[in-house]
Chain A
Amino acid sequence: MSELRARVDAMRPATPGPTRTADPQPPANFPTKGNYFGYIAFGLGSSLMLLVSMNIVRTLWALMEGEAAFRALMESFKHPAYVAFHALCFAWLVWVALRFFSLFPKTQPFRIGPFQRPADGVLVAGLYGIFVVATLVVAAILTGAIL
């Protein structure tokens, strides 16, 4: 039996039956199997989003306090812990984007108006194309190559 537990009320009927039942077990390969790992990683990402949101609030607060406070905050972001945190956030964001790309074809109905849904590979390739072009454009703007 797995050490992990499913919720004891998982798939419980609204009205209990006359027979005593054993508690439900979680899926046997939870959470080590690939798909379950994705489920855990996606869920844990909400913690990252919460921390980033707090940082955004902190940045806005510093902006309100004036230029000196804002510059001091920007300087604090150079701390290795902050750099590592932002690298982790970036990696998670890229992973979520790629996961969304693989999911996107499934969100589309089999027929879009009078047309059949394009092949999954075509949709995914289109999304990857947009992602690469957008990344290059943003990188060019940030490095001053354009604008």
Chain B
Amino acid sequence: MAEKPTKTIVVTRFDPDVDEVPKTQEYTIPVEDDWKVLDALNYIKDEVDPSLSHRWSCRMAVCGSCGMTVNGEPKLTCKQSLADYGDRVEIAPLANFPVVRDLVVELEGFMDKFKKVKPWIVEAKEAAVVEGTNRQSHEELMDFKQFSMCINCMLCYSACPVVSNEPDFLGPAAIALGHRYNQDNRDHGDAERNEIFREDGGVFSCSYANECAEVCPKGVDPSGAIQQAKLNNVVDWAKGFVVPRGK
């Protein structure tokens, strides 16, 4: 039987009990043609070095757990073919996030920002049963559907230069999700969210590098959502001069 081809996987390692700063470790492993990058990591974990820590779950680009930096680019490792890279593949944790261990990053900072934009339907009042159900036409759904495809993989945060430099910035995915609910005709929370969007670190902190839209594995355009939210907020702010608040 022919010998399997091999690749050298260079993995960033960090043990908070031992290491001052992250270091790299190389593993040369046999690979299959149809492997994704995640398969290589799982092979290392299962067959070579069980101490390696990385996150993954669904293996089908839905759960958003396995985002990592592959050869300098944020990628969903279960979606990215290993064959797209040469004999040496460098895998690091997502940029812009504190590293808990090896390839595992701290998510709580993201969750703090996420909750801030109220990513749920805010109802102005409890509707009576006789008023019927909330109806939504296909056109109304299409106003925001694209932004609801986000899987919270955080690749956009990893690619964003503003996240690097402005810790208060809400960030691409959280703003896109807030905007998604603002565009939803069943929601009445846009005034509350727009107040948050206009604060320091809100939509106006974005200077449109557009890298978030380019790295998104689900084809969501967070930078588009942010620019639309900027326009909505300017209009909302200007309307405040002529229309009493709350109208």
Contacts and interface: CB of A to CB of B under 8 A. Distances in A.
A13 B183 CA distance: 28
Interface stretch (B14-22, B59-67, B80-88, B238-246): B14-22
Contacts of A25: 92-93, 95-96
B164 interface: yes
Interface string A80-107: 0000000000000000000100010011
A28 B211 CA distance: 13
Interface of A: 1, 6-7, 9-15, 17, 19-31, 33, 35-36, 38-39, 42-43, 99, 103, 106-111
Contacts of A111: 139, 142-143
A3 B211 CA distance: 21
Interface in B197-243: 207-211, 214, 221, 223-224, 227-228, 230-231
Contact of B95 (A24, A42, A103): A24
When A and B form their complex, which 6 residue pairs have the shortest distance between CB atoms, in order from nearest? Answer: A13-B108, A28-B72, A21-B98, A11-B109, A22-B99, A6-B164
Contacts of A1: 21-22
B152 interface: no
B27 interface: no
B106 interface: yes
A11 B106 contact: yes
Contacts of A21: 16, 98-100, 106
A99 B207 CA distance: 11
A92 B165 CA distance: 23
A33 B160 CA distance: 12
A11 B163 contact: yes
Contacts of A13: 106, 108-109, 111-112
Contacts of A35: 209-211, 214
Interface of B: 14, 16, 19, 21-22, 69, 72-74, 92-93, 95-101, 105-106, 108-112, 139, 142-143, 146, 157-167, 183, 207-211, 214, 221, 223-224, 227-228, 230-231
Given A27-B161, A36-B209, A39-B161, A11 B99 contact: no
Contact of A42 (B97, B160, B207): B207
B72 A11 contact: no
A109 B210 CA distance: 17
7 contacts: A6-B96, A28-B92, A31-B161, A36-B211, A106-B224, A108-B228, A109-B183
Query: Among the interface residues B98, B99, B108, B159, which one has the most CB atoms of the partner chain A within 10 A?
Result: B98
Q: Which of the listed residues A10, A26, A31, A42 has the most CB atoms from chain B within 10 Å of its own CB?
A: A10
B247 to A, nearest CB: 20
Contacts of A39: 161-162, 207-209
A17 B106 CA distance: 9
Contacts of B22: 1, 22
Nearest to A37: B209
A28 B164 contact: no
Given A12-B109, A19-B16, A107-B230, A28 B73 contact: yes
Nearest to B160: A27
Given A27-B211, A31-B161, A106 B100 contact: no
Contacts of B93: 25
A82 B99 CA distance: 49
A23 B69 contact: no
A29 B209 CA distance: 13
Contacts of A108: 228, 231
